[in-house]
Structure 1
Amino acid sequence: MAPLTYGDITTAADRISGRIRPVTLAPLDIDVLRPAPGTGSVAGPGVGEGAQEPYRLHAALEFLQHTGSFKARGAANFVRAHRDAGTLPEAGVAIASGGNAGLACAWAARLHGARATVFLPGTAPEVKRAGLLRYGADVRLVGTEYAEALAACEEFTARTGALASHAYDHPLIAAGAGTLLEEIHRRLPDLDTVIVAVGGGGLFAGVATAARHHGVRTVAVEPEGCRALNAAVEAGRPVDVTVRSVASDSLGARRVSAMALEAALRDGVRSVLVPDEEIVRARRGLWEEYRIAVEHGAATALAALTGPDPAYRPGPGERVCVVLCGSNTGLGSLEQPAGQQL
């Protein structure tokens, strides 16, 4: 497979223009999202009051996108490209997903009058299953991990002739995701760094490719228990990893895509890991301070900045944007007392 190019992303931007929601950007006060000294809670108003932050932080509120995540961009690009080429079959589109890619695929298929069959692990959150049914998808529950759902999807497409989409490992999917960085850069032309969570690597590959074109650094953030990209960088090739994290429903790919690894090995990319407790804390902080409800996968990117020993430390004056990529989550865990979410 050829490396993803900036031209792929600009083509995707033209193809999906008017079909996706432009990203909303908002400034974040990092001081109130950090843990108060000696506690497991966020600092809250007044803690560290008056301190001067050495960098400027914005959040890309991509959870406001159609279907609740950035995945709508890649799905719209994939389905539209096949429809325009006359390669969208009567059997429709099929995909294996932890939930978000399936939602996006079902939405994009419905937009173009096509059927969607979505294979999910049995552990997928109920909120994602319910969303799929609302979009009219045929939902199949298989096993407990994404890899098992993927195997079932591959058998189904071989048998029925349905068009096989992918949660992340396809150039049309990654190029669509990369349009997000194009929009961010248009709004923040002086951006230095974009911070993005990584699962299988579609969002990361697209964002990093566009970021490199604009001279923007990319920080790739993964849970310590779902480190497919980080492990691939260490090994020099995609390798299988174990999947065990509070964010595994959206970041739980066993193996990162070759596209993502190629992007990670370029100049200007950093791979960092964060523990589950910091992901939970960052997610809770967004809820308590901003009433933003995101899934753990989205909070993973922010967790790189908010821990007592941050995985990524921006320099003085650095202009940073963190991508909050999905909100397909229930509110119940946000209302639980701290420490009961793991």
Structure 2
Amino acid sequence: MRALTLVADRQLELADVPPPPAPGPGEVQVRIKAVGLNHLDLWGFRGMAFAKRKMPLVVGAEAAGEIAATGAGVTALKAGDPVVMYGALTCGTCRACREGRDNLCEAVGGIMGFHVDGFARDLVNMPARLVVPVPAGITMRDAACAPIAFGTVQHMLFDNARLQPDETVLVHAGGSGIGTVAIKMAKAIGCTVITTVGSDEKAEKAKALGADHVINYRKDRFETITRKLTNKKGVDVVFEHVGGEGFNGSLLVLKRGGRLVTCGSTAGPTVQINLMQLFQQQYRIFGSFGCTIRNIRESLAKMADGMLPVIDTEVPLAEFERGLARLEGRQVFGKVIVTF
């Protein structure tokens, strides 16, 4: 079968490899149909792994497919069922896993496509407990955005930031995969959405998506515009995944008692915070990573109700690297999908 492998930093190879064995007890075998690209894939491609890993490594952290075979004891899934897979090998037995807090697993075996072999291959065996059925009517292309793009936003906005109807939220990088989802999810519950983008073209697309106010951060300071838009009161929530120099600006535009939730640092992982500002304004800062399996189910339910991802580009498996280049060049508005 085909497998897209990282053989060295920034060096991918589409290889012929032996197929996996028949699924064991409690396992399923999935035929991959679509892979969603994320900045996590870029970090792995650049060699930015935060743990030791062995190469060659099959890439791909987010995917959808169909059940090809089931192992003994698996009754909830059958051949032909459309599914998505959780993107980390959680233990399933620690307290966090038992409580449904999968992304806080105390003995995680690694992130797929980053620490351990990922989904960019024709067939993969997975524990059935890490596989989620896809409701009828959702395409494989769209479903492939549920485990990370939709699930991450669901966890950030609703589990962590506790976003409420009629609140005002600032969504950074509104043209990114998760930024477009955040705009949609916030608007769906009646929030006022302010978003930042890097070009006038993206600004028009963000407005069409439903954003109430769009700031081209290459032309204007988002801090100034956001404070004007809120009559200097600030926003209730900042959806942050950029980091770098803009992080303190994000704190500046929060109202007293406001919440900032962050899951990324594409502009830089190190910031300095004024602690007096933090405690005097009673800000709440949430770090958020990945999502739970429940979040994936919630995301698929939203897709089934008509909230679909914004797809920027589709590329075949052999052109995976072209998709990464588009993501790395910040050209995207929405998600890049790799099709099989």
Fold-level similarity (TM above 0.5): no
Query: Quick one: higher RCO (CA 8 Å, sep 6+), 1 or 2?
Result: 1
Structure 2 length-normalised TM: 0.34
Write 1 or 2 for the structure with the bigger share of strand.
2
Structure 1 length-normalised TM: 0.34
Greater Cα radius of gyration, structure 1 or 2: 2
Write 1 or 2 for the structure with the bigger share of helix.
1
